[in-house]
Amino acid sequence: MSVESAISEAAIEQNLEQFLLVLSVSLSVATVSRIFPLFRKIPYTLLLVIVGLGLAFVDVRLVNLSPELILEIFLPPLLFEAAWNIRWRDLRRDLIPVILFAVVGVVISVLGIAFTITQFTELPLALALLVSASLAATDPVSVIALFRELGADKRLKTLMEGESLFNDGVAVVAFLLLVGIPLGTQEFSLSTTVAQFFTFIGIGIGVGCLIGFGISFLTQRFDLPLVEQSLTLVSAYGTYLITEELGGSGVIGVVTVGLVLGNFGSRIGMNPRTRLIVSEFWDFLAFFVNSIVFLLIGDQIDFSRLGQNLDLIGVTIGALLFTRAISIYGLATISNGLAKSNIGWRQQTVLWWGGLRGSVSIALALSVPVSLEGRQDIIVTVFGVVLFTLLVEGLTTQFLLEKLDLIGDQPVRHKYSEAIARRVALNRVKNYLESATTNNEMNSEFCQYQIKLVDGQLETIQTELDKLLHHHPQLQSLDMEQLQEQMVNIEADTYAEFIRAGRLTENLSPLLQEALIEADEKLIESD
């Protein structure tokens, strides 16, 4: 064996051991945070950052955090999972404020933060623009996890997730357009920058739609859950790579394909069982990736450099909070006036404070070319701001939700759903016993005895449901949502069955879905 081969194998073994160590630590911390009640009050992503900080403090470095690793391996599944789970019906209602926050808000952040930094520090404008572009993308993974745990307002989650999905792409595009200015490889031109921006966005949306609708029609032809699950994974990574190769925004491409497959493809080409399998797969994958990324963010902190740049970090944090306030309160007011969005000041306050920064900001900062003078200032500043948003804003969001009375009725809804599930299960048991009695498959007296026991349990559950509905009338909306979902599923499954049998060659979009959306909109307008 040659010396080069031995060195190569040793390097591979070391990298593998580092990866397994990161995997073991991250999943262990994430699992412990879900098991013990003491840690459930802290979103697991924040707990991972804290553990990573502890490792960095004792100088235990798990692995070098590569920006290419985050952008090409970690980012696509995180974006796809968020886009897959967000409902277009909910997003469409708030599309105007989401676009305002994601596009105009990014412009305000980039210009506002950069201007403030140059006014109060010695950092040149070209470098300040890279800092602000890196920090323009929000990453509310921790906050959304907290929303789900506490049962916060569904619309608040839609606004925050929708903004994050789209502003990631806008921020990445802005960063790529600005990174060449301090290097002297390009000059700023408003017309050229705008043209490049729309080119990046347009290619991303085009490729995402092409792949998304193509896979949607393909999955109509067969019913193979594992294959369909694999196709969603291929679409996430494939869309990102293809879009980047074509000169577009891979982030926008992944978001688009996730929205198409989650809201269209999963309805016309997957039966309910397959949809459940695919959704659970992406839930685990997002949990898996987040566990690694947030641990590594904390582990990469250099405390000595942070201490040397506290003034720059402090100014940037102040500028971030100020420009975020302008974006949220100002643009929400405009949206309320133009589109009747009715986003209240309490929701605006949570959106302002919950605008955390995370993996995308870190990846952009680390992707600054090594040859650029001042690169370390950019990285340290972004790391410091991300750390502040995760630990200070992230850990105080629950307190803010409680003070603003925005905690929902999730525990009650969970209890109600559990009772509904028990009632459905017992009714199926009762139907089986009655069928067995009719067909003389079992002893008649024994079956009748068991049926009476089941009836007793059903009466108890029905009493519990009646009490819950009496004290919480809003739970009726849960029944309506489940009924509407089942209606659309039955219609889509019927079309898919006809296509697989060769009795239908063209796709039919569900009529009920549009009818239900229109009915919901009329109901909202009447209220």
Q: What is the 3-state secondary structure (H, E, C) of 192-246?
A: HHHHHHHHHHHHHHHHHHHHHHHHHHHHHHCCCHHHHHHHHHHHHHHHHHHHHHC
CB half-sphere exposure, 430, CA atoms < 13 A: 15
The position carrying tokens 């193509």 is 214
Is the predicted pLDDT of residue 372 greater than 60, yes or no?
Answer: yes
Residue 210 pLDDT exceeds 90: yes
Which residue carries 């949607």 as its tokens? 216
Residue whose C-alpha is closest to residue 268's, from 85, 512, 515, 479:
512
Backbone angles phi, psi at 19, to 5 degrees: -65, -45
Write out pLDDT tens, residues 57-107.
776 666 665 666 667 788 888 889 888 988 887 888 889 999 999 999 999
Using CA atoms, how far residue 387 sits from 4, 116, 280, 292, 356, in Å, is 40, 20, 30, 16, 9
Nearest in space to 266 (alpha carbons), one of 520, 95, 85:
85
Q: How far is CA 493 from CA 24, 223, 272, 483, 497, in A?
A: 41, 11, 8, 15, 6
User: What SS3 class is residue 328?
Assistant: helix
Residue 146 is predicted with a pLDDT of 65
Range 208-236 average pLDDT: 90
Mean pLDDT confidence for 254-261: 93
**pLDDT at residue 527 in the model:** 47
Dihedral pair phi/psi, residue 47, rounded to 5°? -65, -35
- 233-266 CB burial, b ≥16 within 10 A, e <16: bebbbbbbebbbeeebbbbbbbbbbbbbbbbbbb
pTM for the structure as a whole: 0.76
pLDDT digits (tens, 9 = 90+) for 290-331: 777 777 777 777 778 888 889 999 999 999 999 999 999 999
The amino acid that residue 203 corresponds to is: I
Q: Assign 492 to helix, strand or coil.
A: helix
189: helix, strand or coil: coil
State the amino acid at position 354 in one-letter form.
G
> Residue 523: what pLDDT?
47
pLDDT at 118 > cutoff 60? yes
Written as six digits, the tokens of 266 are 């999963």
Q: Is the pLDDT of residue 351 over 90?
A: yes
**Residue 88, CB half-sphere, CA atoms under 13 Å: how many?**
18
Q: Over 90: is that where the pLDDT of 231 sits?
A: yes
Q: What is the mean pLDDT of residues 50-62?
A: 74
Reported confidence tier of residue 423, pLDDT bands at 50, 70, 90: confident
- Residue 490 CA to residue 525 CA, distance in Å, equals 28
Written as one string, the DSSP assignment of 372-427 is: STTHHHHHHHHHHHHHHIIIIIHHHHHHHHHHTT----HHHHHHHHHHHHHHHHHH
Please tell me the predicted confidence (pLDDT) of residue 2. 60
Q: Is 39 exposed, middle or buried (0-12, 13-18, 19+ CB in 10 A)?
A: middle
502: left (phi over 0), alpha (psi -120 to 50) or beta: left
Three-state secondary structure call for residue 135: coil
Region 323-347: mean pLDDT is 93
Alpha-carbon span 216 to 268, nearest angstrom: 7
Q: Quickly count: other Cβ atoms within 10 Å of residue 356's Cβ.
A: 26
- How many other C-beta atoms can be found within 10 angstroms of the C-beta atom of residue 473? 9
Short-list 67, 129, 73, 134, CA closest to 297: 67
pLDDT in tens, 481-505: 766 667 766 776 777 677 666 666 6
